Amino acid sequence: MPCKLSVITPVRDGSRFMEFCIRNVIDQGCPDAEHIIIDGGSTDGTVELIRRYAGEYPHIRWISERDRGQSDAMNRGIALAKGTIIGILNVDDYYEPGALNEVVHLFRTLPQPSLLVGNCAVWDDDDKLQFVGKPANIGLLRLLMLDIRAFPNNPSAYFYHRSLHDIIGGYDVNEHYGMDIQFLFQAAESARVTYVDRLWGNYRYLTGTKTQRDVASGQNRIRVTGIADFYRKRAPLHYRLLSRAVITLVATCKSCLRLLGG
């Protein structure tokens, strides 16, 4: 019996990228994938695009109604999903060619629940490549250390068993910025985490988007630190001690460099 993968796209007023996103999943040529689009009541032509493609491609399922934000939309998509594997694809992000077939193949050998993580290319407003994130160090300890190399840049580069939500619950509907970070800590606690050195996802880091504004304001750093502190408190003692020691050492080294003019 083939694995089934459910790609979930939350969107509201995303007509700029909606057609590209839909075509990107279609062009994967993955017979085991469905595309669930959860629209939050768009008024910019997004719904018309979805309706047109859904009428032609049966792997597309969708709803359009007001929701409580991105986390709520993702939870609604998961509730509708028929797949054993979940992928989250934001409307302005996209997959590398062949990514979904490769992911489905790899999941056949992974125990439940698993989180499978690949690489992610990050692009700017001018479609210029900024860097490729390779989170080879992903794991609970590295996340608790706030090791930037351990964090996937975007959900387009990771996939997981739907059964993981039976353990950790859904995305926090009261969290509108850090839901991805919360999920990664929960997954590292409860799932088998596997990294593959393959480019799967593409993330458009665009000026004026929610994430860009959050990072520019400095709130993102504060939020991530607070989330890490929460999960550190319930981590095994040696994880708590080691992660704290590393963070203190890094902060001390930065302070010394500033004093030395470095």
Q: Is pLDDT at 249 greater than 60 in this prediction? A: yes
Percentage with pLDDT > 70 across the chain = 94
- So what's the pLDDT on residue 185? 96
What the block records as the tokens of 67 is 């929701």
pLDDT digits (tens, 9 = 90+) for 140-159: 999 999 998 999 999 999 99
pLDDT at 250: 54
Whether residue 86 is predicted with pLDDT greater than 90 in this model: the reply is yes
pLDDT confidence of residue 142 = 94
Domain locations along the chain: 5-259
> Quick check: 136 pLDDT over 60?
yes
The answer to whether residue 259 scores a pLDDT higher than 50 is: no
**Between 3.30.1370.60, 3.90.550.10, 3.40.50.620, 3.90.1300.10, what CATH number should domain 5-259 receive?**
3.90.550.10
For residue 125, the model assigns a pLDDT of 95
Peptide bond into 152 cis (omega under 30): no
pLDDT level of residue 257 (50, 70, 90 thresholds): very low
Contact between residue 93 and residue 25 where contact means Cβ atoms under 8 Å apart: no
CA-CA distance, 67 to 114, in Å (whole number)?
29
Q: What pLDDT does residue 258 have? A: 53
Q: What is the pLDDT of residue 252?
A: 56
pLDDT (average), residues 65-86: 96
Give the pLDDT mean for 191-200. Answer: 98
For the residues 209-231, what does the mean pLDDT come to? 91
